Amino acid sequence: MKQKTVFVCQECGAQSPKWLGRCADCGAWNSFVEERAPGSEGTAGAAGSASHRYAVTGASGVAKLYADVEIESHARLSTSIDEFDRVLGGGVVPGSLVLLGGEPGIGKSTLLLQAAANMARTVGPVLYSSGEESEHQIKSRGERLAVGTAPLYLLAETCLERILEEIARIKPALVIVDSVQTVFSLKFQSAPGSISQVREAATQLLFTAKGQNVPTFLVGHVTKDGSLAGPKALEHVVDTVLYFEGERHHSHRVVRAVKNRFGAVSELGVFEMTSSGLRPVPNPSKMFLAERPSNAPGSAVFCAVEGSRPMLIEVQALVGTSSYGTARRMVSGIDQQRLSLLLAVLDKRAGFNLAGDDVFVNVAGGMSVDEPASDLGVLAAIASSVRNRAIPSTTAMFGEVGLACEVRGIPQATLRVREAAQMGFERLVMPEANIDPADRKAMGSCELIGVRTVGEALDALIA
Ligand code: TYD
Ligand code: MG
């Protein structure tokens, strides 16, 4: 019998009987790859797997009355890494499938090996299956991380069926698959990393996670050019999606939850990469402000909130007359468009003439912020550089800047005020609309200065 084949878009999973240059669904170019049609995969074909596919979540197939459904309290398992537990929403939920995405070399394997060792010690046997490194390589990393004696099983395997067999044999309390792009199922002939392989691996591991109530972590690589089937295609399959972010040249790393069925999203865990693995940073403000120059023009500290977590971050600006024809505007850590807007406000409304100046803005420590609350900090740093007047190092600020030069209120102000007071700041320049009389009393040592316009803010900051 002739094999039936189908062309599958490696970006979005759309199928077509013919090869197409451009995917009609997602618009990607040259993304179609020929794969065997699911119906011709032998006995485990479409019909067989379809009935299997829908029997995952333990549902009986009979509708239940809302009132009769019992609430399952998810007793969470701790990874003994506070910052990691925090992004997971308070620990690992039994039976959950978690995807940890990030660029190669950022520290995914390191973090999961540390968590695996801790959980092997406290919860039970852990299976760490790697398709990227041999057992020796994992062990030599483990030595740096002081894994020690714990029932931690290493498996260097890329065949999905073999991994499932080992899970059935060892009955681990936690499974880690590093990375999902290296895993292939014998059911498909396409290469590991293709969208059908990645989906199959995730789906099969989902059945196992739910069926045997064993929490599972999947590592997913995100590459800049997207040549591997992106973990994006998996986001709807898994319970939780975490992204590992950070700059190679900085030691701090941030793990962010972008989807979590069992906790708050945009929750954040902060780590520092050291010679003995990732170390949790319980007080990020302190780390981000550690190298701040005192009383230097062009430096401003603002209060950001990531998830439920307030953080004080320094932003630096340098403004100078351009010696070339066109003025340069370079940013790192904030949005370029946002900078253009703030420069326009300073230029048009606050009497700064910046048309012929080079402007450089950098968020210190390699952090990136996309909150409008950072506007006032960026604007003040630029103004401070232009006027060559330092903002007192005991002053912090936050607030959104509008096109009419107004300073607008922003959410979660109390959280920011508290963090600034706790970090020992004595003055806080903030939107008038956000001033809460109760805060003013409670923050005795930290003076709250409410401002309505950019002019008022600059008077308070660099007068
Ligand atoms: P790794 O976890 O292998 O990254 P990923 O799995 O995301 O590809 O970590 C990569 C980097 O971390 C590597 O460049 C070396 C560095 N590293 C340390 O600085 N200290 C350590 O203790 C370890 C294990 C790694
Ligand atoms: Mg790795």
By the 8 A CB rule, do 374 and 364 touch?
Answer: no
β-pairing, 5-9 vs 15-16, is antiparallel
Tell me 296's DSSP state: -
β-pairing, 5-9 vs 32-36, is antiparallel
- Predicted confidence (pLDDT) at residue 38 exceeds the cutoff of 80: no
Compute the distance between CA of residue 86 and CA of residue 268 in angstroms, rounded to an integer.
Answer: 7
By the 8 A CB rule, do 26 and 15 touch?
Answer: no
Ligand 1: centre distance to CA 336 (Å): 31
Most ligand 1 atoms within 8 A of CB, residue of 108, 110, 132 to mutate? 110
Nearest CA to ligand 1 atom 12: 107
In this prediction, residue 2 carries a pLDDT of 64
Handedness of CA 79, 84, 85, 88 (dihedral sign): negative
Residues 371-392: what's their mean pLDDT? Answer: 95
In this prediction, residue 1 carries a pLDDT of 57
Confidence of residue 230 (pLDDT cuts 50, 70, 90): low
Angle of CA points 344, 306, 329, to nearest 5°: 25
Angstrom CA distances, 311 to 27, 87, 151, stand at 39, 16, 38
Q: Which of 56-70, 174-188, 265-279, 397-411 has the lowest mean pLDDT?
A: 56-70
Q: Which atom of ligand 1 is nearest to the CA of 112?
A: 2
- Residue 373 CB neighbour total at 10 angstroms: 25
Global confidence as pTM: 0.80
Burial call 327-338: b when 16+ CB within 10 Å, e when fewer:
beeebebbeeeb
Ligand 1: centre distance to CA 191 (Å): 27
Residues 6+ apart with CB under 8 A from 386: 319, 352, 354, 357
Handedness of CA 435, 439, 444, 445 (dihedral sign): negative
Strand locations in 307-390 (E): 309-321, 329-332, 357-363
Ligand 2: centre distance to CA 37 (Å): 32
Q: What percent of the chain has pLDDT over 70?
A: 91
- Predicted confidence (pLDDT) at residue 101 exceeds the cutoff of 50: yes
Query: Each residue of 152-193: pLDDT tens digit?
Result: 999 999 999 999 999 999 999 999 999 898 999 998 888 888
Q: Residue 112's closest CA among 176, 180, 208?
A: 176
- Predicted confidence (pLDDT) at residue 49 exceeds the cutoff of 50: no
Query: Each residue of 347-370: pLDDT tens digit?
Result: 988 889 898 899 999 998 878 888
- Predicted confidence (pLDDT) at residue 37 exceeds the cutoff of 50: yes
Nearest CA to ligand 1 atom 22: 277
Query: Each residue of 390-406: pLDDT tens digit?
Result: 999 999 999 999 999 99
**Structural domains for the chain:** 5-45 (no CATH), 74-282 (3.40.50.300), 287-461 (3.30.230.10)
Q: What residues flank ligand 1, with Cβ below 6 Å?
A: 102, 104-110, 141, 144-145, 273, 275-277
Residues 52-73: what's their mean pLDDT? Answer: 70
